[in-house]
Amino acid sequence: MRRSITGKTRIYGIIGHPVEHSLSPQMQNAAFSALKIDACYLAFSVQPEDVMQAVAGLKALNIAGINVTVPHKSAVIPLLDEISPLAKQLGAVNTIRNEQGCLSGTNTDISGFIRSLQDLQFSSKDKTIALLGAGGSARAVLAGLADAGASRILIHNRTLERAEKLITDFAPLFPAVKLEAVELETLQKTNLDLLVNTTTVGMKSGASPLDLSQCQSVLHLVDLIYSPAQTALLKQAEELAVPAINGLGMLLYQGCEAFTFWTGKSAPEKEMRAQLLNAIE
Ligand code: NAP
């Protein structure tokens, strides 16, 4: 049902560049509708050089909260009044709340990813886990897994130096976790409790970032890609009977956690999931 916008309607949104592809407007507006909250959520395309004005504008225009996406997740940090410890450690914020001019930042990509592992009935505590990729999403996944008590995390990236840089950044933050940048062969010879694909391989072509049948043992698998819903890697996991999920859960739960951070209310997960599935189709 269409809601009417009034002078009392609270404004939420997302800043990024590009941002037109974001599914958050559909998902968050469905959540506001489901709970009959007088609010609307918009996408704001913000150029990198304008991020400071955009964040100052949240206060000036009394915008209630925003998500932050690529390439602004780090740039917003010095502009905030408060930041959650894990977002600070990661150096990336994806959600900001504006309470009477006080801007608080958090990172629901991390908590959203960890929550999605519940759909696999997987707990990271004391586990050996491998990541494929060392980009922005790998950072959030790595922070979440290390914070959740994984004992050993192997990272393989096409550009090895980027995996090594990730480890240099994270090792002092999570000294209890053994972090290793590895070649694909080493990853494939290791018994893995969980394998997470954080690369973009499989998004557009039917390619796979690795041949799962060449891995010694993989007990669970996550592919962060959510469109297509079944990548070549996920198809192989199904054929080999490896329990696996795609990235829809992470996308959904980061949105649910952002909604709760802004409104203090439990998010209407069912409606948000349905809206996402509809938008992806
Ligand atoms: P990113 O920062 O651009 O990182 C891309 C990663 O993919 C890098 O590690 C890159 O390796 C690797 N890569 C790219 N092309 C490759 C190729 N041909 N062969 C091997 N490796 C390749 O991207 P991101 O933001 O981390 O996103 C990565 C994926 O996660 C995307 O598919 C995105 O949709 C998904 N994602 C999902 C969610 C969710 O909520 N489900 C959230 C965030 C991201 P190099 O370092 O060598 O370039």
Kindly report, residue by residue over 52-95, the tens digit of the pLDDT.
Answer: 999 999 999 999 999 999 999 999 999 999 999 999 989 999 99
The first and second tokens of residue 137, run together, are 């999403």
Residue with tokens 């990541």: 131
Give the three-class secondary structure for 20.
coil
Each residue of 147-160: pLDDT tens digit? 999 999 999 999 99
Helix and strand counts by DSSP (H, E) for the chain: 10, 14
Q: Whose CA is nearest to atom 37 of ligand 1?
A: 224
Q: Left (φ > 0), alpha (ψ -120 to 50) or beta: where does 127 sit? A: beta
The first and second tokens of residue 114, run together, are 């960890």
Predicted pLDDT at 2: 61
Question: Percent of the chain scored above 70 by pLDDT?
Answer: 99
Each residue of 233-245: pLDDT tens digit? 999 999 999 999 9
Look at residue 1 and tell me whether its pLDDT is greater than 90. no
**Ligand 1 centre from 134 Cα, in Å?**
8
Ligand 1 contact via 224 beta carbon (within 6 Å)? yes
Which pLDDT band, with edges at 50, 70 and 90, does 255 fall under?
Answer: very high
Exposed / middle / buried, residue 91 (Cβ in 10 Å: 0-12, 13-18, 19+) = middle
Which pLDDT band, with edges at 50, 70 and 90, does 4 fall under?
Answer: confident
**Ligand 1 centre from 2 Cα, in Å?**
36
Strand boundaries in the chain, DSSP class E: 10-16, 39-45, 65-68, 82-83, 95-99, 102-106, 128-132, 152-156, 178-181, 191-192, 194-197, 217-218, 221-223, 244-245
**For 185-205, what is the mean pLDDT?**
96
Q: Give the fold, CATH level 3, of 111-246.
A: Rossmann fold (3.40.50)
Predicted pLDDT at 43: 98
The first and second tokens of residue 266, run together, are 């439990």
Cα gap 11→64, rounded to integer Å: 6
Start-end ranges of CATH 3.40.50.10860 in the chain? 10-106+250-280
**For 110-126, what is the mean pLDDT?**
97
Ligand 1 contact via 204 beta carbon (within 6 Å)? no
Whether the Cβ atoms of residue 156 and residue 182 lie closer than 8 Å to each other: yes
Q: Whose CA is nearest to atom 39 of ligand 1?
A: 251
Positions annotated as catalytic residues are 73
Ligand 1 contact via 250 beta carbon (within 6 Å)? yes
Predicted pLDDT at 281: 82
Q: Which helix (H) or strand (E) holds 251?
A: helix 248-263
Number of Cβ atoms within 10 Å of the Cβ of 215? 20
**For 167-189, what is the mean pLDDT?**
96
Q: Whose CA is nearest to atom 44 of ligand 1?
A: 137
Ligand 1 contact via 184 beta carbon (within 6 Å)? no
* Beta-strand pair 65-68/244-245: unpaired
Cα gap 155→181, rounded to integer Å: 5
Phi and psi for 109 in degrees, rounded to 5?
A: -65, -40
Ligand 1 contact via 159 beta carbon (within 6 Å)? yes
CATH superfamily of 10-106+250-280: Leucine Dehydrogenase, chain A, domain 1 (3.40.50.10860)
Question: Percent of the chain scored above 90 by pLDDT?
Answer: 96
Look at residue 276 and tell me whether its pLDDT is greater than 90. yes
The first and second tokens of residue 26, run together, are 């559909």
**Ligand 1 centre from 11 Cα, in Å?**
31
Residue with tokens 């499989």: 202
Amino acid at 186: T
Beta-carbon-side half-sphere exposure of residue 277 (alpha carbons within 13 Å): 8
Ligand 1 contact via 203 beta carbon (within 6 Å)? yes
Each residue of 22-35: pLDDT tens digit? 999 999 999 999 99
Instruction: Tell me the best of 198, 211, 254, 277 to mutate to test the pocket of ligand 1, counting ligand atoms within 8 Å of each CB and taking the most.
Output: 198
Start-end ranges of CATH 3.40.50.720 in the chain? 111-246
The first and second tokens of residue 79, run together, are 């502009």
Instruction: Cis check for the bond before 228: say yes or no (omega within 30 of 0).
Output: yes
**For 194-214, what is the mean pLDDT?**
96
Mean pLDDT over each residue of the chain, to the nearest integer: 96
Which pLDDT band, with edges at 50, 70 and 90, does 222 fall under?
Answer: very high
CA distances from 276 to 25, 198, 261 (A): 10, 20, 20
The first and second tokens of residue 170, run together, are 């994270």
For residue 199, the ligand 1 atom closest to its alpha carbon is 7
Q: Which helix (H) or strand (E) holds 161?
A: helix 160-170
Residue with tokens 């629901």: 108
